[in-house]
Structure 1
């Protein structure tokens, strides 16, 4: 995943849930964030004090719609992927065989990935402001000073995007994404980016999918990692 794609994902609204839906997850398509899935996702974890928990969503709930759009349709997947911080959505879900509705307001990510995106966004705003001042400059306006300020902000932005420490920031806070058992082994998955955990009913394998790897955990066998 490129840093620019990571920035887009970090600026997406956060609900504080982990979703289990087999082969699914966020993707960049035509510069847009899209949630891809072939089946309706089941909530396997809920962050304490997160938007989902405050809306009453629980582990085991199966999500079917967002704002009336099915999550297995292109329209619903684009809508889910494009949610911004501060945006309120209506979830249609099923619990214990009964259909229910909950409303939750997305937030900005609270982890290192979110802080990274916030820093970049502030620099972009500063750059846009200085450029606007240049466009409306008059004789009394110090255009040379404004240009120096613009160059300074651009250098700061480039440093944030290219700094070798950026990858560390993207993986600094390891939030709990999954906790369970495979055979006699206890399995815990942590990470800041999108992590999808599913189970193969035929083999009993636990499948952990991230942006960089797919991990298949077999009961009684060593973990196998297949790089993508």
Structure 2
């Protein structure tokens, strides 16, 4: 029987030197849930995301993915192959075409046949709305298009979970929407997603639960409408005020 929770963080502590970044974080993510992690800069949001797929090791506590602990060691890369990660910067290989960027990992890591990987890549490019860009290089694309390639590349591994770390913050305003639209479709299709973002319109419309983190702790969590209408803690209310009067 598969665990209902795809991700569990239990008592996570993480410090960089004297700087405590995560201070006892507990979070369970059920399959198919879309969670937006919000909070001021430096509150530990990105670190939390990086702990989920083992990019950062925790000082204490436990991270579990699909019932298994996320710990350094030989099982980590297999586990990581099931988790897509989309960063603020696109991290595409500049010397490879869009198609090559998307097919590289499925062929190399998963041993998928090149033809199959290419077919899938074309379908994914269709899905993110840039089917015609397959043979172009990242430098030929706008930021929004590059980020959509990055999403397609993550999806090519057929992940169980997608992590997004401020995926639109490096983009010009007119490109933000095209990336959020792709993420919206993914959420509708039932992908489990953890999204660190300042795009509160997206949070309000798409996420099942908003998790507000400040000073390395989860201060408050709940359905977005409730959070915006009726934030309980002072820190959360200040945050909401800033956004609404932004």
Q: What is the TM-score when the length of structure 2 is the normalising length?
A: 0.27
Higher fraction of helix: 2
Task: Please say which structure displays the higher CA radius of gyration.
Answer: 1
Flag the structure with more relative contact order, 1 or 2, with Cα contacts below 8 A and sequence separation at least 6. 2
Higher fraction of strand: 1
Q: What is the TM-score when the length of structure 1 is the normalising length?
A: 0.28
